[in-house]
Amino acid sequence: MPELPEVETIMSLVKRRLTNKKVIKCKVLNSKLRWPIETRKFKVLENRTIKSVKRRGKYILIEFELDKVILIIHLGMTGVISFANNHVYKRHKHDHFLLFFNDFIFVFNDIRKFGSIHITKDISNMFLIKNLGVEPLSKKFDENYLLQLSKNRLCSIKEFIMNQKIVVGIGNIYATEALFLSKIHPKMKAKYLTLSKAKSLVSNIKDVLVQAIDMGGTTIKDYVNADGKPGYFTQKLNIYQKKTCPIHKNNTVKNIKISGRSSFFCNLCQREEL
């Protein structure tokens, strides 16, 4: 499900809610997620206070005081975080993980179990984190960076910008939208990226992500933030799951599969398939 804007939105709400709060109890209801939850490790969270909440790529990082213990959460496709009132909480299907606080419960729910929860004391060496690429909204992500890494890549440009080892946080929706805005065919080989296309792509990726964050993300099917609210960037989508091109209004949007994912594009706007 969530890409950078959705994770950022959720992270902000979690941050507001959990900073300086002490975990009373931690409960694993189901450890069988994408990576098994190592239940025994989680005892150390009890009676500890949360110092800060951050985001790295599509991961939410919850940092505790002392010992640099960090709780890492990935939402996969269908992960949802919510807060339940202590007295009202009733276990829902697919609730997997709970953190009890004085006056509420932090709930992690995930229908498809593609999400995961980890705990680490050494974030920079954590296997899921250590090989992540640059943050797309940082200065490091520019046309030179993209051009440099794409030089000899035979994979499509869409796969390339969705590759979390290159740049983090971009998933199917925002990759699709940014490529449309830059008039690049999603199947074009990454190695054929030019300086001007790279410039345009970087700038459109940043724009799309910033706008989407401002609007609380994109809700396609069932995404909601930690307050149960949808994202409103859905209204701004140009091409993702659209029938016709917003520019060539009579032209049907093409939908092809690129490494198993739906890829929407306008064959008149995005011509150069090489």
Interface residues with DNA (CB under 7 A)? 1-3, 6, 32, 34, 57-58, 74, 76-77, 93-94, 111-114, 128, 152-155, 159, 162, 164, 171-173, 190, 218-223, 259-262
Is 58 annotated as catalytic?
A: yes
For residue 21, the Cα-to-chain-centroid distance in whole angstroms is: 25
Q: What is the dihedral of CA 62, 225, 141, 164, to 10 degrees?
A: 80
CA dist list (Å): 48 to 75, 104, 258: 23, 16, 45
Question: 229, 242, 261, 273: which is the annotated catalytic residue?
Answer: 261
Nearer to DNA (CB atom), residue 19 or residue 30: 30
Nearer to DNA (CB atom), residue 32 or residue 139: 32
Q: Which residue from 82, 79, 71, 88 is spatially nearest to 37, judged by alpha carbons?
A: 71
Strands (E), 89-235: 95-100, 104-110, 116-120
Q: How far is the CB of 194 from DNA (least distance, A)?
A: 17
Rounded to 5°, angle at Cα 238 from 236 and 241: 105
Q: For residue 26, what is the DSSP state?
A: E
Q: How far is the CB of 269 from DNA (least distance, A)?
A: 20
Structure-block tokens of residue 217: 């993300």
Q: How far is the CB of 46 from DNA (least distance, A)?
A: 28
CA dist list (Å): 88 to 14, 84, 105: 20, 7, 10
Q: How far is the CB of 151 from DNA (least distance, A)?
A: 9
Nearer to DNA (CB atom), residue 99 or residue 149: 149
Is 261 annotated as catalytic?
A: yes
Question: 55, 58, 158, 189: which is the annotated catalytic residue?
Answer: 58
- What is the three-class DSSP state of 238? coil
Is 2 annotated as catalytic?
A: yes
Question: 2, 5, 136, 186: which is the annotated catalytic residue?
Answer: 2
Determine phi and psi for 53, rounding to 5 degrees. Answer: -130, 130
Nearer to DNA (CB atom), residue 66 or residue 154: 154
Is 54 annotated as catalytic?
A: no
Q: How far is the CB of 217 from DNA (least distance, A)?
A: 7
Nearer to DNA (CB atom), residue 56 or residue 183: 56
Any idea which residues carry the catalytic annotation?
Answer: 2-3, 58, 261
